[in-house]
């Protein structure tokens, strides 16, 4: 196999309508250089629609209408692309297979049943795009990525079995020619027993990194509707700046703090093999975009801002006024881990321990229920967690003007504040 294999990833927005799909074909055709693995997400908001269908099915409610809407959405795109019945064979197969799954009795847990349904977003989108590529004279192979990515059975958040997946990839790599194009689904995998799993919402970026790792790719490119990795979400900020080049280390920090441009799990497999990641605009594919690689020399040039809304700040105060010590922390973290609450920020003082968590009233209720015996609990909701990398005094003053800062942590590189 050539070592010059590349991986492209197209998200839901880049296949949301016929014009977008044509653009994907154009990019594949113009920017292919060597064997190419193309990872594609579900079209538009299909994953959300399938989640709703799963929910209704699980509750025993009728879902005929939303299911029809999904079919109509895909069919309209296919019609717009002038696809024939022959071009749509792969799609029709997936659609029928989904009907079979829906018609059979629900097996296993809620999460297991979720994966069996929601995975069809990617199976349908890749089948449709493959049909269009074929119709356009671009030769490609549709590959069921579940044959490649082997995971454990932790449904909706499955962990990859790298060893087994690598040996499966090796067999497929044998068949790759310099001009091969493989179309694969993002987001999904399968257990060793062949049960479909998913890698967590927005997991297609991670799939691209897995493909790159398994096939020893030369590069990965994530094609997006933004010009590259920005120093802030344009939703929150007027004057965003593109980060031309940042290190793996910096990218993993930003993703951890909540930068939404790439899925947090994406960086590790790429860093492990030194595979650079490009983030480029599918609207202006000729532009340079951003590159994420080993080199740290540009990391400090621009401050980055990450805003996480819908935060709660919760404080635990031992009822008997004893100090917060390791035993308390073990108790608190044991409970958090059991309920599955992620801590975004924490701080302790003599007799109180505070955590900043995503608002989830159900999980919060479980937490309070479990802790109420030993602790007095205080909390604030409706907060925002702001993280600034490479901060300076001036930007901090601007950010905090007119806001109530409930908690602040500063290190040399990073400031984190919980504000109202």
**Residue 209: CB atoms within 10 Å:** 29
Alpha helices in 46-161 (DSSP H): 46-58, 64-80, 89-103, 110-118, 120-135
305 binds, among ligand ASP, Mg ion, none (CB under 5 to 8 A by kind): none
Q: Which long-range contacts (CB under 8 A, 24 or more apart) does 200-204 make?
A: 200/156, 200/157, 200/263, 200/265, 201/47, 202/263, 203/263, 203/265, 204/9, 204/11, 204/39, 204/40, 204/41, 204/122, 204/263
Contact partner at residue 187 from Mg ion, ligand ASP, none, CB < 5 to 8 Å by partner kind: ligand ASP
Minimum Å gap between C-beta 121 and ligand ASP is 5
Q: Which does 121 bind (CB under 5 to 8 A by kind): Mg ion, ligand ASP, none?
A: ligand ASP
Given phi > 0 = left and psi -120 to 50 = alpha, else beta, which region is 59? Answer: alpha
**According to CB under 6 A, which residues from 45 to 84 bind ligand ASP?**
47
* 315 binds, options ligand ASP, Mg ion, none, Cβ within 5 to 8 A by partner type: none
DSSP secondary structure string, 201-215? Answer: TTTHHHHHHHHHHHT
Selected range binding ligand ASP among 41-49, 92-100, 274-282, 330-338, rule: CB under 6 A: 41-49
Distance, in Å, from the CA atom of 384 to the CA atom of 255, rounded to the nearest integer, reads 17
Cβ of residue 42: shortest distance to Mg ion, in angstroms? 6
CA distance 122 to 183: 11
Residue 182 token pair: 């493989």
Residue pair 396/388 in contact by the 8 Å Cβ criterion: yes
Q: Determine the Cα–Cα distance for residues 47 and 56; give it in Å rounded to an integer.
A: 14
203 binds, among ligand ASP, Mg ion, none (CB under 5 to 8 A by kind): ligand ASP
Tell me: does residue 276 bind ligand ASP (CB under 6 A): no
The sheet with strand 196-198 has its strands ordered as 150-151, 188-191, 196-198
Instruction: Give least dist CB 204 to ligand ASP, A.
Output: 3
Q: What is the number of other CB atoms lying within 10 angstroms of the CB of residue 19?
A: 11
Taking phi over 0 as left and psi of -120 to 50 as alpha, with beta for the rest, 108 belongs to left
Residue 111 class from Cβ within 10 Å (0-12 exposed, 13-18 middle, 19+ buried)? Answer: middle
Q: Is residue 203 at the binding interface for ligand ASP, with CB under 6 A as the rule?
A: yes
- Which residue, 15 or 336, has its beta carbon nearer to ligand ASP? 15
User: For binding to Mg ion (CB under 5 A), which residues are involved?
Assistant: 12, 41
In this chain, which of 35, 44, 90, 121 binds ligand ASP, going by CB under 6 A? 121
Contact status: 264 vs ligand ASP (CB under 6 A): no
How far is the C-alpha of 242 from the C-alpha of 112, rounded, in Å? 40
Instruction: Give the Cα separation of 266 and 281 in Å (integer).
Output: 18
Task: Choose between 116 and 204: whose C-beta lies nearer to ligand ASP.
Answer: 204
Q: Which residue intervals of 244-325 are DSSP H helices? A: 248-257, 267-273
Minimum separation from the CB atom of position 266 to Mg ion (A): 14
Number of residues forming the site for ligand ASP (CB under 6 A): 12
Among 204, 271, 290, 304, binds ligand ASP (CB under 6 A): 204
63 binds, among Mg ion, ligand ASP, none (CB under 5 to 8 A by kind): none
In this chain, which of 63, 142, 187, 316 binds ligand ASP, going by CB under 6 A? 187
**Minimum Å distance from CB 213 to ligand ASP?**
17
Q: Smallest gap, in angstroms, from Cβ of residue 115 to ligand ASP? A: 12
Taking CB within 5 to 8 Å according to partner kind, which of ligand ASP, Mg ion, none is near residue 264?
Answer: none
Residue 201 sits in the site that holds ligand ASP (CB under 6 A): yes
Residue 289 as a binder of ligand ASP (CB under 6 A): the answer is: no
Q: Which is nearer to Mg ion, 41 or 247 (CB)?
A: 41
The residue from 35, 186, 189, 276 that contacts ligand ASP (CB under 6 A) is 186
Read off the tokens for 127.
């089948």
- Find the binder of ligand ASP among 87, 115, 202, 250 (CB under 6 A): 202
Q: Give the contact letters, 340-379, x = binds to ligand ASP (CB under 6 A), - = no.
A: ----------------------------------------
Q: Which positions ≥6 away from 105 have C-beta within 8 Å?
A: none
Residues that bind ligand ASP (CB under 6 A): 11-12, 41-42, 47, 121, 186-187, 201-204
């Amino acid at each position: 196999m050539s070592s010059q294999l590349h991986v492209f990833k197209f998200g839901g927005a880049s296949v949301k309508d016929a014009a977008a799909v044509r653009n994907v074909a154009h990019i594949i055709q113009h920017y292919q250089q060597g064997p190419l693995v193309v990872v594609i997400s579900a079209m538009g908001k299909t994953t959300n629609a399938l989640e709703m269908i799963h929910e209704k099915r699980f509750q025993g409610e009728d879902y005929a209408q939303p299911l029809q809407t999904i079919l109509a959405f895909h069919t309209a795109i296919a019609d717009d692309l002038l696809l024939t019945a022959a071009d749509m064979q792969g799609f029709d197969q997936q659609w029928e297979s989904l009907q079979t799954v829906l018609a059979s009795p629900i097996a296993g847990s809620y999460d297991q049943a979720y994966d069996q349904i929601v995975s069809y977003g990617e199976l349908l989108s890749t089948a449709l795009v493959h049909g269009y590529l074929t119709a356009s004279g671009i030769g490609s192979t549709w590959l069921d990525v579940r044959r490649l990515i082997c995971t454990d059975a932790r449904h909706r958040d499955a962990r990859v079995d790298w060893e087994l997946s690598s040996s499966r990839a090796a067999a497929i790599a044998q068949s790759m020619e310099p001009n091969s194009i493989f179309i694969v689904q993002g987001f999904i995998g399968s257990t060793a027993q062949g049960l479909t799993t998913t890698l967590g919402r927005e997991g297609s970026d991670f799939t691209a990194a897995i493909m790159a790792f398994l096939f020893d790719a030369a590069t990965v490119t994530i094609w997006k509707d933004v010009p590259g990795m920005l120093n802030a979400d344009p939703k929150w900020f007027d004057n965003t700046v593109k980060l031309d080049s940042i290190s793996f280390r910096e990218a993993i920090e930003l993703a951890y703090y909540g930068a939404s441009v790439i899925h947090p799990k994406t960086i590790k497999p790429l860093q492990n093999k030194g595979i650079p990641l490009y983030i480029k605009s599918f609207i202006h594919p000729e532009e340079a975009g951003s590159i994420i690689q080993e080199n740290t020399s540009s990391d400090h040039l621009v401050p980055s801002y990450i805003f996480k809304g819908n935060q709660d700040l919760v404080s635990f105060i031992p009822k008997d006024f004893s100090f917060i010590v390791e035993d308390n922390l073990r108790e608190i973290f044991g409970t958090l881990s059991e309920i599955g609450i992620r801590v975004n920020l924490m701080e302790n003082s003599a007799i109180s321990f505070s955590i900043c968590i995503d608002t989830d009233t159900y999980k919060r209720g479980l937490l309070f229920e479990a802790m109420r015996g030993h602790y007095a609990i205080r909390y604030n909701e409706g907060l925002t967690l702001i993280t600034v990398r490479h901060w300076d005094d001036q930007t901090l003053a601007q950010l905090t003007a007119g806001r109530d800062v409930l908690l602040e942590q500063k290190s040399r590189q990073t400031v984190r504040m919980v504000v109202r």
